[in-house]
């Protein structure tokens, strides 16, 4: 399981640009930032909106193109064997409570169906290239809410100094 963050254009939330990007329908002329995305084919299994809505783009039984050049625990090409979850957000910024609630519910549902070994960030599987979801993502609170073994999370997962109260994230 690989967690990511994305917003298009960066720092803008609520539009349909990420959805259009994942569907290869993005109007590259609609914003100057989009010109640099021409020719890229990117997808994720899931996209979690700021309000907690969950959108699925690719079946979990199929490959999505979310990790790029990646490596984790002796295995290359994480796209071949992982599920990618994109959170609407900006690398380094905080994420919203409804997203954490939706993420907890989604991860529990996925674990009931698939043999999830670990939950890591894009920053873990492509550390030189990527830094998302970044220091604004509250790994400690996610671990507390899921109550899954610590070994299921990347060793050294960044934690925010001001981690959310465990009662604030969905049970």
Residues marked active site are found at 86
* Cα 47 from chain centroid (whole Å): 7
* Cα 165 from chain centroid (whole Å): 22
Sequence-distant (6+) residues with CB within 8 A of 137 are: 3, 5, 87, 95, 121, 158, 160
Radius of gyration over every alpha carbon of the chain, rounded to an integer in angstroms: 15
Distance, CA of 159 to CA of 146 (rounded, Å): 16
Distance, CA of 109 to CA of 86 (rounded, Å): 16
> Whole-angstrom distance between the N-terminal and C-terminal Cα of the chain?
20
Nearest Cα to Cα of residue 86 among 124, 50, 139, 118: 50
């Amino acid at each position: 399981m690989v967690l990511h963050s994305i917003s298009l254009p960066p720092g803008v939330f609520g539009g349909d640009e990420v959805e259009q990007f994942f569907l290869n329908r993005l109007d590259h002329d609609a914003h100057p930032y989009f010109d640099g995305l021409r020719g890229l084919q990117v997808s994720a299994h899931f996209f979690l909106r700021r309000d907690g809505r969950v959108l699925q783009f690719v079946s979990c039984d199929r490959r999505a193109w979310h990790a790029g050049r990646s490596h984790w625990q002796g295995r290359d090409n994480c796209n071949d064997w992982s599920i990618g979850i994109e959170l609407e957000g900006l690398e380094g910024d905080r994420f919203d409570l409804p997203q954490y609630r939706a993420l907890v519910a989604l991860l529990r549902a996925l674990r009931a169906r698939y043999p999830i070994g670990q939950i890591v960030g894009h920053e873990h599987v492509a550390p030189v290239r990527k830094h998302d979801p970044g220091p604004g993502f509250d790994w400690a609170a996610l671990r507390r809410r899921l109550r899954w073994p610590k070994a299921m999370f990347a060793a050294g997962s960044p934690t925010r100094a001001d981690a959310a109260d465990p009662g604030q994230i969905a049970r």
